[in-house]
Structure 1
Amino acid sequence: MNRLNWLARWTVTVRAMCGAVVIGSMAFGSSIASADEVTNSVAAQDAIDSSEPILSYETSYNLVAAIKRYEQIVANGGWEEMTRGSYALEKGDDRGHVRALRRRLIASGDLEDTGRLSSKFDDELDAALRQFQARHGLQLTGIIDQETYLTLNLPAEAKLKQLRLNLERVNQVVGDLSNRYIVVNIPAASIEAVENGVVERRHTAIVGRIDRQTPILTSKVHEINFNPYWHVPKSIIRRDIIKYMNQDPNYLTDFRIKIYDASGDELDPQSIDWSTEEAVQYSFRQEPGAENSMGHVKINFYNPHAVYLHDTPQKSLFGQNRRFHSSGCVRVENVDELVSWLLRENTSDWSLPAVDAAFESGERQDVNLEKPVPIITTYITAWANRAGVVSFRNDIYGYDDAGRIDFASAN
């Protein structure tokens, strides 16, 4: 995909300091992204993109090199803390705090050390800041917004510890990888489709929120459900459906969710006492359609957690910076492309047009993968590519703090 088209499609930047919302090269408010700023964002994304899978011997080698670099950074005293005066700095500013930002980005390798420390926030510094934001999974605003400010002030020692921990995680699994597989990296809320040691597709994802985490596991994708029913898990009936029905008695009707007893007979929602947990003893099924929580497709793999990959009608969530919204399952952006990739080795035609036609038909259809594809859901918060660009993500589930590395045993 052309990088400029890609950026225009996904970039939704909220400029809190300027009161402007920028979408690609269009803006509503008092400012607009210039051509140079768009170019800098594209370059920043290019710097972190790589054909190397996040789980690979290459990543392990790159992490070793990154650890050596960060050991040197720590030995040199790390980097200075940014003061509150640096908050809201952006291109065009000309004040002393810009020099501190330059020193900070030089220390982490985002900005070349030319021996000069200008106080002007120029295009070169804008490009460096956007690269820093890209490396940390932040919105590419080119502004010291709140998340960027807090991330800049994370100490080098913490980054070094993160790199060492993730090297152990990667090394635990690389020896067991197959020729063709999918990786869901939970902290990055992203998916890689890998074949012959090369990332063929990357997808933005939405994963489990902190109180309903996406589990760490290994399995195999074995089935695709086109235009599926959604069989509502009992945990969601208990936590969500009962609450929604107390708020709006028409909720189930509006979202085409039907209730069935143990004999398979449909029940009237009004016959259930929603002030109790009576509803948990019944089965809830959402019909296929535009409102269905699965969207057009569900991707099944064996696991004891009742989780899966799927489409979603809530496409706007993919544009968010923090994509931790699900109840444990994984929502996939451009899921039709992933489905076509998964079914590529089937004898029937499942090219992208064929998959899209199946979506548009609205008809229920189940297709088995003739060659099941391994899937790994994992937790990598730091990695590096062969260009030496090091990426980090927040420890959203607290596994880094706990020092957890036992992911290879999760099945």
Structure 2
Amino acid sequence: MFLVRYFCLVIMVLAGGLVQAQDFPDTAAQNEIKAQLLELAVANFNGSYARMYDSLIASENTPSYGEKLMEGYGYIRAFREMTAGIKWSDRQYLRFPASKNMDISKYREEYRELLDTDRLTAFLFSERPPVPRYESYRAALLGILEKGEKKLRRYDFEVLKPGNTGEKVDILRQNLKTLGYLDAILPDEGVFDADTADAVTAFQKARGLTADGIVGYQTYETMFRNRDQEAVNIARTMIRMADPVLTAGGEYIFVNVPDMNLNVYSGGKSVLSSRVIVGRKDRQTPLFTSVLSNVVLNPTWTAPPTIMKKDYAPKLIRDRGYLAKHGLALYDSSGYAADPAWLSDAQIRSGLPGYRIVQSSGTKNALGLYKFNFPNTDAVYLHSTNSPGNFQRVTRAMSSGCVRVEKSKELAEYVLRDTPYSPERIAAVIKKGKTQWAQVKYHIPVYVAYLTAFIGQNGEVYQYPDVYGIDARAGRIPELVSRHFSETGDSE
């Protein structure tokens, strides 16, 4: 350790300045400061981190390098402390306290003490965010940055599928080769053959798309997503996923809205995976964390006020018999059945104040046969559906905010294990059609997240669309960062 600091001191003297030896940690600590600062800078939610990163890299081999390392450490520590107790929803939206005039002076003494006692490197490692497969995310981010932009040829959109021929197919094949999904030695003869279909399928799987081997518009657009967007997506995921529960090895239910999938994790591995339907853009699924409390078998459904006013009111204005035709009933504040024919247009347009619209349990119920409750201020929940065909759609942002789960039966059996509700009893209750509330034994955390990039258990990096446009304004790597990495040109 002494020799490392000695040689650093000599280098700085030769560079034309004298900096105290304790300003220079070992190489591992230097690299860790740069890496953690880079992750915050690329996420592009606050320009301070990009300016600090640029300043640090630019100072290498200059007398100010030691001071910049200390400042970089301060920025990292300030961010970790600032976000340690932040709400999950704020983390998903990257809503952090203003840090324009970040005070890092209080970390100087801490930095020097850690450095002087040879504990700085270990402490920096402990400051890494609690993200599952964190090192894989870091490697993926650096890989994207260091490779630069892959130059692809654009063509006017047209659905391309097996059997198609022509110049556009050749351009597609050349792009697949550039991206590494098709063997470069294969000749381009203008034919969408089996090799092309396999390469498209592999690309679709890696991007979280429907893997059908057909280049539709979503696959086409995803193919031309630039390096910057993918890097920003990964860096933001590294911030959004930072929660100790996710790395503790316990159980939790995880819904990723952009992916439109749900996973139950236990021991760091997915033990149940299901497609889901999430809220459409004008009625977004809220991003939060809670704890599962119970499961309702054969649930009834009470329409939320928003749906009563926006969805049912216009239909009732046109047809007072609409509710009865669709298995719905209207109740007043005393719980008595009411006839919509008694109401004025003005009452209906105002959202039926003092009334409830209720749908009885059964196969026609909008919630399906299972409802999963957990406390939250948005009155949303997981549930099954009476329209299972919608799970086959590529884009499944189509609910009014709640999350519909394709494998709701399997999820119910899993979360109700070790309770009186065995799979056989659940089936019997469902068959009878009567509503029952089943308490869970294990109160499993529920996370609803917004991850536009994700690394699976297979090590693959998946990129997902920004379905709610939350990241739309931050799709570029800050110039102060990108200039320190190679550039090979944008798509043509």
> Which residue is equivalent to 1:59?
133
Deviates more, 1:88-97 or 1:191-200: 88-97
Is the 8 Å Cα contact of residues 131 and 243 (structure 2) preserved in structure 1? no
Out of 372, 381, 389, the position equivalent to 2:460 is: 389
CA shift in 2, pair 1:102/1:223, >3 Å? same
> Which residue is equivalent to 1:303?
376
CA deviations on 1:10-55 (whole Å, 9 max, x unpaired) are xxxxxxxxxxxxxxxxxxxxxxxxxxxxxxxxxxxxxxxxxxxxx9
Note the C-alpha offset of 1:250.
Answer: 1.7
Aligned pairs for 1:320-335 within 5 A: 320-335=393-408
CA deviations on 1:223-251 (whole Å, 9 max, x unpaired) are 11111111111111111110121233222
Whether 1:149 and 2:223 are equivalent positions in the alignment is no
SS state of the match for residue 239, structure 2?
helix
Alpha-carbon separation, structure 2, partners of 1:212 and 1:59: 32
Alpha-carbon separation, structure 2, partners of 1:316 and 1:169: 31
Letter in structure 1 aligned against 2:441: E
Is the 8 Å Cα contact of residues 131 and 247 (structure 2) preserved in structure 1? no
CA shift in 2, pair 1:101/1:268, >3 Å? same
> Which residue is equivalent to 1:319?
392
Is the 8 Å Cα contact of residues 225 and 367 (structure 1) preserved in structure 2? yes
Whether 1:288 and 2:356 are equivalent positions in the alignment is no
Letter in structure 2 aligned against 1:313: N
> Which residue is equivalent to 2:422?
350
Alpha-carbon separation, structure 2, partners of 1:184 and 1:172: 15
RMSD: 2.4
Note the C-alpha offset of 1:192.
Answer: 0.3
Alpha-carbon separation, structure 1, partners of 2:164 and 2:323: 53
Structure with the higher strand share, 1 or 2: 1
Letter in structure 1 aligned against 2:371: K
SS state of the match for residue 371, structure 1?
coil
SS state of the match for residue 293, structure 2?
strand
> Which residue is equivalent to 1:80?
152
Deviates more, 1:139-148 or 1:186-195: 139-148
Alpha-carbon separation, structure 1, partners of 2:131 and 2:144: 20
> Which residue is equivalent to 2:410?
337
Alpha-carbon separation, structure 1, partners of 2:198 and 2:318: 48
Out of 233, 240, 265, the position equivalent to 1:162 is: 233
For normalisation by structure 2, the TM-score amounts to 0.65
> Which residue is equivalent to 1:204?
275
Letter in structure 1 aligned against 2:342: S
CA deviations on 1:267-306 (whole Å, 9 max, x unpaired) are 1111112343161331222111222111112110000000
> Which residue is equivalent to 1:218?
289
SS state of the match for residue 379, structure 2?
coil
User: Between Structure 1 and Structure 2, how many residues are aligned?
Assistant: 345
SS state of the match for residue 253, structure 2?
strand
User: Which has more radius of gyration?
Assistant: 2
What 5-or-longer segments of structure 1 have no aligned partner?
Answer: 1-54, 405-411
Alpha-carbon separation, structure 2, partners of 1:394 and 1:365: 38
What 5-or-longer segments of structure 2 have no aligned partner?
Answer: 1-128, 476-492
Note the C-alpha offset of 1:319.
Answer: 0.7
Structure with the higher helix share, 1 or 2: 2
> Which residue is equivalent to 2:319?
248
CA shift in 2, pair 1:188/1:61, >3 Å? same
> Which residue is equivalent to 2:433?
362
CA shift in 2, pair 1:151/1:362, >3 Å? same
SS state of the match for residue 235, structure 2?
helix
Alpha-carbon separation, structure 2, partners of 1:102 and 1:375: 42
Letter in structure 2 aligned against 1:229: T
Deviates more, 1:198-207 or 1:142-151: 142-151
> Which residue is equivalent to 1:277?
350
Letter in structure 2 aligned against 1:271: W
